[in-house]
Amino acid sequence: MKLWGVSMVRNEEDIVEAFVRHNLSLLDGLIVVDHGSADRTLAILDALCAERMRLVVLRSEAVGYLQAEITTTAARDAFARGGADAVFPLDADEFLRIPSREALERALATIPPGHHGWIAWPTYVPPLEGTPGGIVAALRASRRALVELPIPPELSSKVVLTRHFAQDPSATITMGNHDVILGRHQVTSPRMPHVEIPEAVVEVCHVPIRSPAQFVVKTTIKRLARVAAGRDYPAGSAIRVAFDAIRDDTPLTPATMLATHLGGAQPAISTRPQAPFIADIALRHTPAAPSDPLPLVLSAVERLVRRASAATAGAAPAREPGSADSR
């Protein structure tokens, strides 16, 4: 089987190189769409392409957080142009753990027509006070978050797609890569049936919080992009509570930041020794220190305001929403 990954990224300079190198140690190809990064993410991706890795980098200037549309298009490209037999939609803070490629391929081969796979999606927490040795050392030291409250499956699983997805033109990946719908409406369209793949075969290890600065950038830009796309989070949701806390300069604690990702649940952190999920990789392009969050947030705000102004004036934006340019 040919296994590919697809991802939409924005302002992930601290982790994107580790993401690419690790996942390409397990996959046969990877498509990454940069969605308007204002930090060094795109430069890092270009440097990785120069190493002749099995990496395709695209750039999207679409306004708003159009992850479902962009990732669906990238997945179809992986099937059509990459010859993929299975595609893993991933975020830049997600790392595949595949103990046995042979066992994974056997599991994927059992997914029946008209179905997709669900994969376990555990959250891991690195030392938020910093770790000597950079992001790879922090990932190796990460511990699994133990969520005591039950959470719905759509918040605890990620999808894997087979060629059945490519053969159905109505199939669309949902926001967050948690499910597949048959249509375009994220709420009312029917769901494609799924098959759960055992955690012992494959899991997507998620590291959503790496530092307070990274959390501020991720939370504010994600919320503003969703507002711009007309898809704001519901009032009282965890991410809106976090956004308000950042706006009001309320101190952020590790528990608060992690609870934002887990929909408000207060997790415990495992103290048991755990085998690292990160491959034995060495980084060449990742900056030693993260960017100041303020310029990144202001850049995103300026971009959204310019697009809104152009739309109000009846002028066409520089690029059509949803367009992607190959680099």
The burial of 109, by beta-carbon neighbours within 10 Å (0-12 exposed, 13-18 middle, 19 or more buried), is given as: exposed
Distance CA 209, CA 207 (A): 6
Q: DSSP character for 282? A: -
Residue 180 has pLDDT above 70, yes or no: yes
| Residue with token string 């969605």 | 35
With bands split at pLDDT 50, 70 and 90, how would you rate the model's confidence at 259?
confident
Q: Which two tokens stand for residue 131?
A: 């770790």
The better pLDDT of the pair 119, 251 is held by 119
Give me the mean pLDDT over the 227-233 stretch. 82
Helix-helix angle 238-247:212-228, to 10 degrees: 110
Q: Which two tokens stand for residue 291?
A: 């960017």
Looking at the chain, the whole-number percentage of residues with pLDDT higher than 90 is 52
Average pLDDT, the chain: 87
Residue 38 has pLDDT above 50, yes or no: yes
Distance CA 65, CA 88 (A): 20
With bands split at pLDDT 50, 70 and 90, how would you rate the model's confidence at 148?
low
Q: DSSP character for 153? A: G
Q: What pLDDT, on a 0 to 100 scale, did the predictor assign at position 321?
A: 40
Residue 227 has pLDDT above 60, yes or no: yes
**Dihedrals φ, ψ of 262, to 5°?**
-95, 20
CA angle (170, 176, 182) in 5-degree steps: 15
Name the residue among 18, 206, 222, 202 with its Cα closest to residue 106. Answer: 202
Given a contact cutoff of 8 angstroms between Cβ atoms, the answer to whether 121 and 206 are in contact is yes
Distance CA 82, CA 85 (A): 9
Give me the mean pLDDT over the 124-131 stretch. 79
Given a contact cutoff of 8 angstroms between Cβ atoms, the answer to whether 13 and 44 are in contact is yes
CB crowding 171-199: b at 16 or more within 10 Å, else e: bbbbbbbbbbbeeeeeeebeebebeebee
**Euclidean distance between the first and the last CA atom of the chain, given in angstroms as a whole number:** 27
With bands split at pLDDT 50, 70 and 90, how would you rate the model's confidence at 206?
very high
Name the residue among 189, 185, 201 with its Cα closest to residue 86. Answer: 201
Q: DSSP character for 250? A: P
Helix (H, G, I), strand (E, B) or coil at 169: coil
Q: Which two tokens stand for residue 317?
A: 């934006």
With bands split at pLDDT 50, 70 and 90, how would you rate the model's confidence at 252?
confident
